[in-house]
Structure formats: structure tokens, C-alpha cells
Amino acid sequence: MDRVAPETWYAVGFFFSLILGPFFIGLCLMKLYRFYRPKDVPESDENSVSVVSQISAQRDGFFKMYLLGLAVCSPGFYYIYMRFLVHI
């Protein structure tokens, strides 16, 4: 561990945060959106609603949350890269 330069650990941390950071931020943003969004008016007055349609309406995939978080985090990642990691 002593033979590795500190910049290498910064780069490793940066690459891990590049994957995990946007995912968790996108997850939080989707949870906030689900909490504060306006209530939907039902289009049809059916007595029974399919369970599968309810589950798929609330399900968000990994890439949807990742891309949303990446859109929010990309200026910060660009700044960190240009400030600290451009010389690696």
C-alpha cells in the first residue's frame, strides 16, 4: 500500500464514485419525485386494476436512475477531473 501514489487512490475513488454516486442521487431524486408529484386522475373507473400494471407503473430501472443522477452530477465530476485528475 505504501508503494502506490496517493493520486492513484484518488483516481480509484473517482471511478467508484462515477458509478455509485449518480445511481444513489438518481434514486433519491426519483423517490422525491414519487413523493411530491401530483396525484394522477384515473382515466377509467374500473372495479379491478391489474397488479402487474401497478408494479410496472412504479418501477424504475437502473439506467433511468443512473442517467438522471449522471445529468445532475456531471458538472461536479468534470470539475473534479479537471482540477485534480487531469495530470494522472
Residue 9 in any domain: the answer is no
If one compares 29 and 60, the residue with the highest pLDDT of the two is 29
Residue 42 in any domain: the answer is no
For residue range 62-85, list pLDDT tens digits in order: 888 899 999 999 998 888 888 877
Residue 76 in any domain: the answer is yes
For residue 80, the enclosing domain spans: 21-37+51-87
| Residue 10 cell numbers, joined | 484518488
The pairs formed by 70-76 with CB atoms below 8 angstroms and a separation of 24 or more are 70/22, 70/26, 72/22, 72/25, 72/26, 72/29, 73/21, 73/22, 73/25
Residue 73 in any domain: the answer is yes
Residue 7 in any domain: the answer is no
Residue 75 in any domain: the answer is yes
Backbone torsions φ then ψ of 15, nearest 5 degrees: -70, -35
Please give the average per-residue pLDDT across 25-31, as a whole number.
90
What pLDDT, on a 0 to 100 scale, did the predictor assign at position 71? 93
Residue 57 in any domain: the answer is yes
If one compares 48 and 70, the residue with the highest pLDDT of the two is 70
Rounded-to-integer distance, Cα 55 and Cα 34, Å = 14
Residue 32 in any domain: the answer is yes
Count of domains for the chain: 1
If one compares 84 and 24, the residue with the highest pLDDT of the two is 24
